[in-house]
Amino acid sequence: MKHAALRLAAAVGTTVLALGALSGCGRSAPGASYFPLESGHRWTYRLSSEWENSTVERETVVLSNEGSDRTLDSGSAFRRHSDSGIDYWLRADDTGVFRVATKSDLEEAPKPDPQPRYVLKAPIAVGTNWPASTTTYLLRRRNDFPPEIRHSHPSVPMVYTIAALNQKVETPAGAFDGCVKVQGEAKLKLFSDPVQGWRDMPLTTLEWYCPGVGLVRVERSEPANSTFLLGGVMKMELMSWE
């Protein structure tokens, strides 16, 4: 479950970003204060997953910024590291903040994204939207192996939209003001069971980014309501940051 949660965490969300040459003109890029990338920052999250059969899993997720990195063939990018051993490279410019590559411990070199995967797209305003791929983190088959749907559907198109500004968010790390709420929506057609047949399963993500801190909360919903499939909800909340 941890790799799935960390893919979600790094596909989303963190103090003010000194972009330098990456910004092209020395100004902070749109969304930079909501997703800091400079080195030295570290975020610890509490992750809880609950399935429709009442099974519950809890764990801790840690992300850290490792600073500017020039290992990519395409040039410099900011590297973010997860405690599972997965690294992510991100950039920021006038179009927003976006991921450009990933690497797991099993891979020899970073794997470039076919296209930049936006975390926050400019302008930071209600209604701004962008496409990005996702996968399932909770949906699974009750009787097949491997049970996780993500093995057969590793890339699902999702549309993200800035749904609200100036949000107040309560977390174990404290209360935060002036946050941006992002909503992601997707549908995945799966065979539900012999009675319901094929259905569009909704995948919904809510993310909150706060100025000077970054990602503070994620809520993921993947309901199944099926005899063949099992769905659930996942929440990730900020416990501490530095």
- Please give the Cα distance from 228 to 142 (Å, whole number): 6
What count of residues does the chain have? 242
Single-letter code of the amino acid located at 168: K
Single-letter code of the amino acid located at 115: Q
Residues linked to residue 50 through DSSP beta bridges, in sequence order: 56, 233
Q: How many domains does the chain fold into?
A: 1
pLDDT tens per residue, range 158-178: 999 999 999 999 999 999 999
| pLDDT higher than threshold 90 for residue 198 | yes
Output 168 or 33, whichever has higher pLDDT: 168
| pLDDT higher than threshold 60 for residue 32 | yes
> Which of 223, 216, 155 is closest to 182 using CA atoms?
216
> Which of 74, 88, 66, 68 is closest to 18 using CA atoms?
68
- Please give the Cα distance from 136 to 4 (Å, whole number): 8
- Please give the Cα distance from 166 to 172 (Å, whole number): 19
| pLDDT higher than threshold 50 for residue 236 | yes
Q: Which domain holds residue 234?
A: 2-241
Cβ within 8 Å of residue 236, ≥6 positions away: 5, 8, 9, 45, 46, 47, 48, 61, 217, 218, 219
The per-residue pLDDT for 82 is 94
The per-residue pLDDT for 237 is 98
